[in-house]
Amino acid sequence: MTPYYIHADLDAFYASVEQLDHPEYRGKPVIVGGLPGDRRSVVSAASYEARNYGVHSAMPIVRAYELCPAGIYLRGNMRRYREKSAEVMGIFSDFSPEVRQISIDEAFLDITGTQGLFGPPPEIARKLKEAVRGKTGLTVSLGLASNRYVAKIASGMSKPDGTYIVPPGGEEPFMCSLPVAKIWGAGKKAQEQFKKYGLKTGADIHRLSRETLSHIFGKAFCLFLYRAVRGEAAASFEDARGTHSMSVERTFPYDVYDEFTIETELFALCQTIMFRLLDGHWQSRTVFIKIRYHDFSTISAQESLPRPVHTINELFEHLSDLFRRKYQSGRGIRLIGGGLANLETGKAAHQGELFDTGNEKERNLEQCILEINKKFPSAALKKGRSWLVDTTSLTKRVSLNNICVTNGDKSTSNHE
DNA sequence: TCTGGGGTCCTAGGACCC
DNA sequence: TCTGGGGTCCTAGGACCC
């Protein structure tokens, strides 16, 4: 049976959800990502009305405001977007036994052999769009092809609210007809190379031998391009991808020079990371940090430990140690990040784990905090250090042994 | 236009072992 | 004793995606 796939992509997702929830925003330029005064924020989604002003994703909010001062600016509500995304993914599951979600607003549906149920591809597409619009109020753009890679590019051609069908056998001519800017996986650097060598369309790349391609682009990327313009997907795009790492980072509104402030932020990151790790039943013995200096130069450092990290304090010890070893004293920092790599499922046994590691109590406390936070999200329980200095907001807190409660009252000072 | 946050994959070099 | 080759793990940095 010929394989067939749909790539479904929600249009201007965050902005559309806002317009759905707030009828007064409809027909107006909505920009999600930050408020006009927010330094260092960027646009995460712009409604099509906003795009008419030249506003697009990843653009600094400051720039967007110059282009579109009359726009509606919002910081966004991820919980709501995740909720809406889950609704849509649920609908996708009604149409395919194999739905592969690749981001909050996109998924691949394997519709191989579903024609008996829903009719030929154009019919399936029509029904799918209708179901999404009818049940969620959102519009979705679709691409259909015999592999996921080509389907993904096709959906991009159909935006907004369209359907683009590449018939079986039509993949290669489709890819050849494409301007190189549309090749998914070829970003800024690759585009520069295309320009340098006068490559304008897929067909221009198609004409080059593998040797020539390899000379210009290197081994892996050459193979990727070679296959892409022939309408075949590189293995890495077709394979299911699992979770391999988990990270949290924060950009400060102003460069920070004070190491205590930075380490306090690092501690806060550790809490978020550990709770997510616990929540997902993962474990890891590879820790890493990321430091971005005022001039945007970025360094990272990682360390593999003999045993998986068990507690927030343990993680903090390793991350602050890496930080102290790597940080060039006196340089302003705009971003600090940390995370865990090489994630394994929590069940994987590790040597030395069977006997008491001495931090069982701590681990249990953290597990409790996690459970409470899950049940009562507004409680926002946190462990000790992060309330010494709070760099995100000014909140009033009541301390409770080693735990503290934030209540969102933004009236007090940031030192207590 | 001074550039978020959360990810994946690739490259290249070094350590270490056989 | 002046020097091979393969495999695996680790590390840092960068390209790319939404």
Is A388 or A153 the better-scoring residue by pLDDT? A153
Percent of chain A with pLDDT over 70: 88
Q: Which nucleotides of chain C does any protein CB come within 7 A of?
A: 9-18
Place of tokens 């890496």: A322
Residues A318 and A271 in one domain: yes
Q: Would strands A30-32 and A72-74 be described as parallel, antiparallel, or unpaired?
A: parallel
Does A183 reside within a domain?
A: yes
In this prediction, residue A399 carries a pLDDT of: 33
- Span between the terminal Cα atoms of chain A, in Å: 68
Structure tokens at A308: 């998986």
Torsion on CA atoms A261, A263, A265, A267, rounded to nearest 10 = -140
Per the CB < 8 A criterion, the answer to whether A29 and A37 are in contact is: no
**DSSP per-residue codes, A172-235:** HHHHHHSBGGG-TT--HHHHHHHHHTT--BHHHHHTS-HHHHHHHH-HHHHHHHHHHTTT---H
In this prediction, residue A371 carries a pLDDT of: 74
Q: Of A113-122, A358-367, A373-382, which gets the smallest average pLDDT?
A: A373-382
Banded pLDDT at A414 (limits 50, 70, 90): very low
Residues A347 and A283 in one domain: yes
Banded pLDDT at A141 (limits 50, 70, 90): very high
Lookup: nucleotide whose C1' is closest to A326 CA: C12
CA distance to A395, A397, A412, per residue, from A409 (Å): 5, 8, 8
Does A385 reside within a domain?
A: no
Domain boundary among A78, A95, A123: A78
Here the CATH number for the domain that contains residue A182 is: 1.10.150.20
- Say if residue A396's pLDDT is above 90: no
Does A34 reside within a domain?
A: yes
Here the CATH number for the domain that contains residue A333 is: 3.30.1490.100
Q: Verify if strand C has an atom below 7 Å from the CB of A105.
A: yes
Residues A369 and A267 in one domain: yes
Does A163 reside within a domain?
A: yes
Q: Does A106 participate in catalysis according to the annotation? A: yes
Per the CB < 8 A criterion, the answer to whether A45 and A58 are in contact is: no
- Model confidence pLDDT, tens digit, residues A253-302: 999 999 999 999 999 999 999 999 999 999 999 999 999 999 999 999 99
Does A135 reside within a domain?
A: yes
Q: Determine the angle formed by the axes of helices A210-217 and A188-196, rounding to 10 degrees.
A: 120
C1' of C7 to CA of A244 (Å):
23
Banded pLDDT at A353 (limits 50, 70, 90): low
Residues A191 and A210 in one domain: yes
How many residues are listed for chain A in this entry? 416
Domain count across chain A = 4
Domain boundary among A28, A44, A78: A78
Residues A94 and A70 in one domain: no
C1' of C17 to CA of A189 (Å):
14
Banded pLDDT at A29 (limits 50, 70, 90): very high
In this prediction, residue A240 carries a pLDDT of: 74
Share the mean pLDDT of chain A. 88
In this prediction, residue A67 carries a pLDDT of: 97
Which structural domain, as residue segments, surrounds residue A20? 14-78
Range 367-406, chain A: CB under 7 Å to any strand C atom = none
Separation between Cα atoms, residue A19 and residue A33, nearest integer Å: 15
Here the CATH number for the domain that contains residue A42 is: 3.40.1170.60
Q: Which nucleotides of chain B does any protein CB come within 7 A of?
A: 1-12
Per the CB < 8 A criterion, the answer to whether A362 and A369 are in contact is: no
Does A368 reside within a domain?
A: yes
Banded pLDDT at A243 (limits 50, 70, 90): confident
In this prediction, residue A363 carries a pLDDT of: 74
Residues A180 and A100 in one domain: no
Q: Verify if strand C has an atom below 7 Å from the CB of A265.
A: no
Residues A43 and A86 in one domain: no
Is A375 or A273 the better-scoring residue by pLDDT? A273
Q: Verify if strand C has an atom below 7 Å from the CB of A187.
A: yes
Separation between Cα atoms, residue A285 and residue A350, nearest integer Å: 10
Here the CATH number for the domain that contains residue A153 is: 3.30.70.270
Residues A367 and A245 in one domain: yes
Does A89 reside within a domain?
A: yes
Domain boundary among A209, A228, A247: A228
- Say if residue A41's pLDDT is above 50: yes
C1' of B8 to CA of A264 (Å):
29
In this prediction, residue A189 carries a pLDDT of: 95
Banded pLDDT at A374 (limits 50, 70, 90): confident
Residues A306 and A341 in one domain: yes
Q: Determine the angle formed by the axes of helices A219-228 and A210-217, rounding to 10 degrees.
A: 130
- Model confidence pLDDT, tens digit, residues A55-94: 999 999 999 999 999 999 999 999 999 999 999 999 999 9
Residues A104 and A210 in one domain: no
Residues A302 and A358 in one domain: yes
Banded pLDDT at A401 (limits 50, 70, 90): very low
Sheet holding A381-383, edge to edge: A381-383, A403-406, A397-400
- Say if residue A166's pLDDT is above 70: yes
Separation between Cα atoms, residue A300 and residue A98, nearest integer Å: 37
Is A58 or A416 the better-scoring residue by pLDDT? A58
Residue of A18, A66, A98, A106 with catalytic role: A106
Residues A73 and A107 in one domain: no
Does A205 reside within a domain?
A: yes
